[in-house]
């Protein structure tokens, strides 16, 4: 299904705010029964026969193209619902997503309703009276700019473009788990979190299912990405191995699967998540896990990452894609 929206801000705002009940689906004939997750309740984290892939999208079209290409090559992708969550309305991005032909079930686009594009000149966007980021507190108080008495830990003031990422992250989770009619009633819903600059490898869904078969009662989630320090590991010797450890944002913060049980825990700590003095959603989640959860999260993950973070590497894009090809070839040897 395609759709056209006037770019004038007030009409765009009305459209984005009104998209919630519309829930535009590419495949209009989809039936809710296709999404029912018939799972084995023996484990707290059951093996999902059907899963949701939730992708946070901003404006990097070149990265998004590579992510979509990687999804096209992912085995069992036709058994998923792929949801793209946007904080801008962009015709080129919409056309790219509408051109997807590999997902036999459907794709879905949702739009963050409190974006800067919708509120360009007032909170939660940029208010004309916002304090400049690096202004000294004393000068801010003299100017009487917004929130002058409350800079962050580093003495900086709010930047709408940065904090929007955290707000969008939390909104999309709530929207998918609690609002979308197809998913809100699935008690065993599992959501794989990706971003526009990620790249998934061809056996990623297979690995999620394989690891959930190995899962024990003390494991809370499965992660597909693994970092050691600042380096993401793609050691061919580790192709068939996985590890179990405490979940850390710095180690397993990309490509992890959130089951409904975990989402309910996060939602129960939403005040702490939102008020924690950090604009990063991952470090805010880390703080919540340590301070609000009764027990630390245990993650099961492949020691050979199945999700690459392209935007995190400070190297040439072509070099990144060359590495991707080598990793894909290594994984193909397992088939």
Which residues make up each annotated binding site for Mn(2+)? Answer: 197, 309
Identify the structural domains of the chain with CATH numbers, from first to last. 9-332 (3.90.550.10)
DSSP character at residue 134: T
Closest CA to 72 of 97, 47, 43, 93: 97
In contact, 278 and 287? CB cutoff 8 Å: yes
The answer to whether 293 touches 269, Cβ cutoff 8 Å, is: yes
Q: Coil, strand or helix: which one is 102? A: coil
Q: What is the DSSP letter of 25?
A: B
Per-residue model confidence (pLDDT) at position 9 = 47
Local mean pLDDT, 10-residue blocks, the chain (335 residues): 39 53 41 39 39 94 93 90 93 92 77 92 93 95 94 92 95 94 86 94 89 72 84 75 90 90 95 93 95 92 87 62 73 66
Which helix (H) or strand (E) covers residue 266, if one does? Answer: helix 260-268
Phi-psi bin for 76: left (phi > 0), alpha (psi -120 to 50), beta?
left
Confidence at residue 48, expressed as pLDDT on a 0 to 100 scale: 43
pLDDT the model gives residue 23: 46
Q: Rounded CA gap, 16 and 330, in Å? A: 43
> Which residues contribute to the annotated binding site for substrate?
56-60, 87, 164-168
Which parts are annotated binding residues?
56-60, 87, 164-168, 197, 309
């Amino acid at each position: 299904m395609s759709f056209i929206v006037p770019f004038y801000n007030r009409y765009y705002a009305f459209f984005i705010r009104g998209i919630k009940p519309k829930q535009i689906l590419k495949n209009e004939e989809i039936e809710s029964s296709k999404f029912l997750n018939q799972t084995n309740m023996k484990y707290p984290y059951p093996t999902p026969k059907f899963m949701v892939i939730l992708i946070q999208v901003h404006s990097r079209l070149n990265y998004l193209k590579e992510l979509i290409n990687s999804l096209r090559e992912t085995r069992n992708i036709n058994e998923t619902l792929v949801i793209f969550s946007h904080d801008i309305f962009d015709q080129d991005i919409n056309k790219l997503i509408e051109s997807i032909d590999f997902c036999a079930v459907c794709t879905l686009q949702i739009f963050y309703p409190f974006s800067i594009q919708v509120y360009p000149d007032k909170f939660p966007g940029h208010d004309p009276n916002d304090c400049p980021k690096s202004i000294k507190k004393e000068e801010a108080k003299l100017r009487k700019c917004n929130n002058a008495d409350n800079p962050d830990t580093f003495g900086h003031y709010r930047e709408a473009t940065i904090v929007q990422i955290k707000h969008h992250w939390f909104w999309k989770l709530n929207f998918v788990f609690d609002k979308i009619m197809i998913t809100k009633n699935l008690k065993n819903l599992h959501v794989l979190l990706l971003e526009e600059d990620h790249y998934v490898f061809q056996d990623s869904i297979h690995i999620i299912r394989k690891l959930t078969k190995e899962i024990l009662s003390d494991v809370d989630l499965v992660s597909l990405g693994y970092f050691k320090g600042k380096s993401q590991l793609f050691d061919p010797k580790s192709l068939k191995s996985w590890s179990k450890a405490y979940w850390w944002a710095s180690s397993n913060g990309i490509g992890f699967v959130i089951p409904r049980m975990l989402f309910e825990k996060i939602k129960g700590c939403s005040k702490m998540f939102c008020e924690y003095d950090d604009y990063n959603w991952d470090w805010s989640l880390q703080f919540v896990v340590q301070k609000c959860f009764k027990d630390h999260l245990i993650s099961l993950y492949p020691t050979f990452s199945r999700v690459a973070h392209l935007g995190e590497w400070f190297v040439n894009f072509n070099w990144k894609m060359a590495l991707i090809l080598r990793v894909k070839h290594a994984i193909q040897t397992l088939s």
